[in-house]
Structure 1
């Protein structure tokens, strides 16, 4: 499918319509306090050339009319949030999707102008997600001019059979070409892989890993194929025709042909072994990195630190409060046009979220730090919940805290469910 660029893309996020650009290093406007600590910034670009049948993220077809309307609204939200937050410093930046690499150079430049006008933009790390078939020199130069330092390439598989099984439209050779282009632009490379696709064998997964390692990326992510069967809004909200019925048929058929839980565990252990042998450190359940190449922005999520998310379906965590934008583009565009703020996430709870997210990391949960952040009562709840798993070989305790064992990484959902049962969100507790 061809991807049309937005009409007059250079003006899509024109700063003429927004407050006077804020220059890095200068104070925010009078009366608006600057945030004391830097934040992370996530920018959602939902457009895709086609819909992947397993994907539950907020995506949309990349029509020129929809792109123009969305990028105008995104620019308005960026300007408004920058003003409201006092033009905070941004030290990690992440462009996710969707397929941000579909944006044209002029659209990227306009987005850069909007971001620099709203924030003190000095990221130590800036990532853009890319489809292997959508990277070219002009786009990479535009992203680099914005400040991007790393590209996350959604290879998903290096095998033709794997790509067909996942409903992907790019070819195996596209991933190698994309990695070479990113290296030519002097940027870091991360490669995403999916395991557990219908009919996948251990030998095929080993071949996938070997091919990915041969590309010498700085970072590798390996995710099991997860197929929701409950009509997730994000997967269908913005796509005409077919709707959930088409996706549901594909997903049920794919789920029937997937490896079972034990088969997935075998594939996961293969990834652990092969990537460790290749020199990658396993620092999070699904992520491996070369020394000093961990994803700083994603570490913000796993440490439950502060970040702002802009765009359809984007989530934020600021001042201990989680909030989100609507995933459906009509609802998102209407809220921005009406000047409405993000929607609060009523089910979120900083204390339980922080414990679960920390356990995803190889470093685990530092109980002393957790006690300082949330108080002794919350820390005692977490310890009691986790101690109830003693004897299961899922956790390893140390002087400062607790982390998942190799077995625990395979069965992490059991640990998280126990935490949710024993340490429910504050609003769900008796007497809360």
Structure 2
């Protein structure tokens, strides 16, 4: 199960935004639509997801209508606050969004587009399990306005997929990618490295398989052991080994080298794209601190420095909206020091980096030490920006600590 929601102040039952919020409608606006359903929960996952046996009072069939109710609430709230603006990006995440009928996803997208509008060329992404992508599903999504599919490949090696509790076969990834491309969708594939029992050779095989798909975007994430997950319990009981940090570092370096040789360029520590146009604009919106509304159980939102998050369980979420109440469970308005820490944490991970003069003056003197340690690019620093070297990407958390502590 996912972790607890953060502590915060009570959220207003009508969802109203504070009257003194410094809203800038020139800031890009995005929408995240959470679909919290999975057939099977992967052993490493701590996202807010539910299998059919865990829904208790909620159904997948009614979910689209429920979420459309939150879209109506968001339209009212943002209109009253003078914060209404068209969406630059839309992202359906989960869970497994494609467990819902493609028509339901299209209906939710249509409601959001009708309520807020879409900028010309808006990026609209749906996450998908390879098992759920058929030519018909891909065509229906494309007809609804989706233009990008993010496919959860994770690995091309059967025993690694088994260690991650992934149920799809490697062959299904190829057929899903082909279906998406035939429908005219851009394709991204997601990989995870460092699973129990995965060797460097296994990881190389997965990279080769991902490159053979000829997608324009690849994400590669190190396996992180989250408290409360099945995998964490297995490690605690000694059933599987703890991920090897040195092996994961070797895997990252191999990924960066192979992807670069294939024409990909890193633009965030765990993300590579062939061109600037192929980068995930939705994820960049998070890393750059834009505004977004997160729809669905447990989803988080951010507008002009104000953050709030929804109740977690789909039944509680539906009950709030049925009573014409906001599903928000809590809210917070971080102070400037907290916002600076977050800015360093997020912007230091992207290729463009963070401007040195955006750092507190007391922290700027530490940049020279980061350059000496080979963590920050010296030429970029001369131009006034902190940009991570390859070594810096491997030790990104250490860079953040040095700049933030």
Q: Same fold (TM over 0.5)?
A: yes
1:159 Cα deviation from its structure 2 partner:
1.2
Change beyond 3 A, Cα 1:58–1:255: farther
Bigger shift: residues 191-200 or 329-338: 329-338
Equivalent in the alignment of 1:111: 108
Counterpart of 1:261 (choices 235, 245, 250) is 245
For normalisation by structure 1, the TM-score amounts to 0.79
* Mapping of residues 307-326 of structure 1, within 5 Å: 307-326=292-311
Aligned counterparts of 1:404 and 1:344: Cα–Cα separation in 2: 33
Equivalent in the alignment of 1:402: 386
1:337-363 per-position Cα deviation (integer Å, ceiling 9, x unaligned): 441363214668322211221110122
Preserved CA contact (<8 Å) 2:37 2:51: yes
Does residue 1:51 correspond to 2:37, yes or no?
Answer: no
Does residue 1:354 correspond to 2:343, yes or no?
Answer: yes
Preserved CA contact (<8 Å) 2:70 2:326: no
In structure 2, the residue corresponding to 1:169 is in which secondary structure?
A: coil
1:34 Cα deviation from its structure 2 partner:
10
1:28-56 per-position Cα deviation (integer Å, ceiling 9, x unaligned): xxxxx994444111111111111111011
Counterpart of 2:96 (choices 95, 99, 102) is 99
Equivalent in the alignment of 2:9: none
In structure 2, the residue corresponding to 1:67 is in which secondary structure?
A: coil
Structure 2 unmatched ranges of 5 or more = 1-22
1:259 Cα deviation from its structure 2 partner:
4.2
Aligned counterparts of 2:386 and 2:212: Cα–Cα separation in 1: 35
Preserved CA contact (<8 Å) 2:28 2:88: yes
Aligned counterparts of 1:256 and 1:109: Cα–Cα separation in 2: 41
Equivalent in the alignment of 1:164: 162
Write out the 4+ residue segments of structure 1 that deviate beyond 6 Å after TM superposition.
none
User: Which structure's relative contact order is higher, taking Cα pairs within 8 Å and 6+ residues apart?
Assistant: 2
* Mapping of residues 24-423 of structure 1, within 5 Å: 35-62=25-52, 65-86=58-79, 87-122=84-119, 124-229=122-227, 231=228, 248-252=232-236, 256-291=240-275, 292-338=277-323, 339-340=325-326, 342=328, 343-345=330-332, 349-368=338-357, 370=358, 379-384=360-365, 386=367, 389=370, 391-396=372-377, 397-421=381-405
Aligned counterparts of 2:26 and 2:371: Cα–Cα separation in 1: 40
For normalisation by structure 2, the TM-score amounts to 0.84
Aligned counterparts of 2:238 and 2:164: Cα–Cα separation in 1: 9
Change beyond 3 A, Cα 1:117–1:269: same
Preserved CA contact (<8 Å) 1:282 1:289: yes
Change beyond 3 A, Cα 1:329–1:386: farther
* Mapping of residues 13-32 of structure 1, within 5 Å: none
Preserved CA contact (<8 Å) 1:197 1:259: yes
Structure 1 unmatched ranges of 5 or more = 1-32, 232-243, 371-377, 422-432
1:323 Cα deviation from its structure 2 partner:
2.0
Preserved CA contact (<8 Å) 2:297 2:311: yes
